[in-house]
Structure 1
Amino acid sequence: MRSLHTLRLTALVTVAPLVLAVAGLLHPRHLTAATAGHWAALHIALLPVFPFLVLGLLIPLRHRPRRDAEGMLTLLSWAGCLCFAAYYSGLDAVAGISAGTVVDHGVHGAAGPLFATGDELGRTGVYGLAVASLATCSLLWRRHGARVLPGSAVLFLCCWSFVDSHIFWPKGVLTMLGFAVAFALLTAAAFRPAENPRCRKCR
């Protein structure tokens, strides 16, 4: 029963990065008059998907924050996830939907400033995701020890790559697949039965 529950949670935390990886294969490499319509439409479709990337950090935490160090880490993770959801959605709206729309309507000169603004929003969002990742992994380390290290290592590598990769092929697609692997590893570590009495409260 526990393994089935973990499998369901693993599917839940990996669906967003896997959808984004597939979308990255369909993402135009460059914004041109020929690709502008597809560019805008794809980002409209992905607008509700990017925020769900943070499920891979929130689900392994499970518990409400307490008034101790773990509670502070939980709140820091939530704040970082909120930062990512807000600011990366801004990138999607500005450099994706808006830039694609103006180029599709022949206003080519506006795309550059929109990309510049979108890049700033996106970087801020990824920095928030990195902070949330550090807080989540620190908390999981306190609860579960070294078994969270593989997922944490993959996660930090993906955050570093995500700063400038978006979901473009090949780097962005590989980054999204890496997030899926990291979230699956962290979920498996967090929901595996505790190996010593000290961690039983964390199950």
Structure 2
Amino acid sequence: MSRSQWLRAALLAAPGLILAGFGVFHPAPLEVDTAQWWTTLHVLLLPVFPLLAAAQWVLLTGAPMVLRWAGRVAAFGFAAFYGGLDAVAGIAAGTVAHTQHVVGPVTFAVFGIGDTLGYIGAACFLAANAVIVAAIALRVGWRVLPGAVLLLAASVSFLDSHIFWPRGVVTMVAVAAGMFLLSVYVTASPRMSVRQTSFGQP
């Protein structure tokens, strides 16, 4: 890998690693004593989760147009809906618990809508990563396998793990590793098509 490829790979892996770091300090479950930190943590997380969508956007560079835009629409869905989870089940729920000094019915109602938004967002994340793997596999064949296995397994885990310790943290590390490995095969031009290279060749 060239220096620029190493830099790109590191940048694409960075969001997952940052989220894994936050996950180590993520309280679970929400309690009155941790409500203030719960709120603050999710404020800090708001700008970080969209960076995963940005990484997906870059990994779709060079994909056939249909796959590229399908993946990018899914990445946008992840950023939008998962941001809703952070705002509702994170900031709002923590604020309610801290203000009312109880984790009660109102907090649970807030969690209900937040969980729905989060599941939709996580499903979009999985869909975008599946498109990324398919697009890269069209160009490089079985060489996509190590990164693909890590990224797709982590995406399935992410459906219900969030970034909670320990599984959520491991999930985010796997996301980072998968994106790092797949970044090697990102082409410079979004106009790259399957006809421009034979299957299994870069």
RMSD of Structure 2 on Structure 1 (CA): 1.9
Residue matched to 2:33: 34
Residue matched to 1:181: 177
What is the percentage of aligned positions where both structures have the same residue? Answer: 38
Contact conserved, 1:29 with 1:168, CA < 8 A, in 2? yes
Contact conserved, 2:38 with 2:91, CA < 8 A, in 1? yes
The Cα offsets for residues 1-32 of structure 1, whole Å up to 9 and x where unpaired, read as: x6101111011111111110010011111211
Residue matched to 1:194: none
SS of equivalent to 2:164: coil
Contact conserved, 2:60 with 2:71, CA < 8 A, in 1? no
Relative contact order: is structure 1 or structure 2 higher (C-alpha 8 Å, sep ≥ 6)?
A: 2
- Cα distance, 1:110 vs structure 2: 1.1
- Cα distance, 1:62 vs structure 2: 2.2
CA distance in 1, matches of 2:145, 2:53: 19
Q: Which runs of structure 2 are paired with 1:105-184 in the superposition (5 Å)?
A: 105-106=99-100, 108-184=104-180
The Cα offsets for residues 143-190 of structure 1, whole Å up to 9 and x where unpaired, read as: 222111111111110111001110100010000000011001101233
The count of corresponding residues between Structure 1 and Structure 2 is 191
Could you list the runs of 4 or more consecutive aligned residues of structure 1 that deviate by over 4 angstroms after TM superposition?
A: none
CA distance in 1, matches of 2:55, 2:179: 5
Residue matched to 2:191: none
Residue matched to 1:92: 86
* Matched AA of 1:150: P
Residue matched to 1:102: 96
* Matched AA of 1:123: Y
In structure 1, list runs of 5 or more residues that go unmatched: 192-196
TM-score by length of 1: 0.88
Contact conserved, 1:167 with 1:175, CA < 8 A, in 2? yes
CA distance in 2, matches of 1:131, 1:139: 12
